[in-house]
Structure 1
Amino acid sequence: MNEISPKEPGESGLFNRIAVLRAERGISRQELADAVGVNYQTIGFLERGDYGPSLKLAFQIAAFFGLPVEAVFSMEPFKPLSEQVYGAR
């Protein structure tokens, strides 16, 4: 599997937290895909940054998690949660 460094976006140029959000909620790729109307492989492509979502799909994914779109997708790398919450590095 192609792992992406947190400092380098995939081909899409976007960073995302989809895998983290799925893991936190115990949701499979298939479950998320079914909820937003795409193939489960699309979720994998999104998570790796190999594919940039349409605006509609980005909003559907954010709505599924009950978060604003900018909490799921970003043009800048996301800071680790420990740094955001506790200021730790």
Structure 2
Amino acid sequence: VALADLGRLPVTFATVDPVALIRNAVWANSRRAKAQSVSVEPGQLPSTTVLVKWDGARIEQLFTALIESSLRYTPAGGRIAL
């Protein structure tokens, strides 16, 4: 956040699949969630996707931060859906 405030956060736009980014974030956090007995799911994703011009790495960081924050406050047996 500090780098963003200073305008020093590099942003690299590329064509990405947002559904793939969500699935990657779910997969990357699945081990920790399982250890906490919490289910992490991609939610209801569209059957087709629209490619977008985003900074995929930053968006994956965002999804991961949301999941990590949710894991802190979701009790065992709970469910997190993006």
Q: Structure 1 length as normaliser, TM-score? A: 0.24
Say which one has the larger Rg: 2
TM-score with structure 2 setting the length: 0.25
Of the two structures, which has the highest relative contact order with CA contacts closer than 8 Å and spacing of 6 or more?
A: 2
Of Structure 1 and Structure 2, the greater strand share is in 2
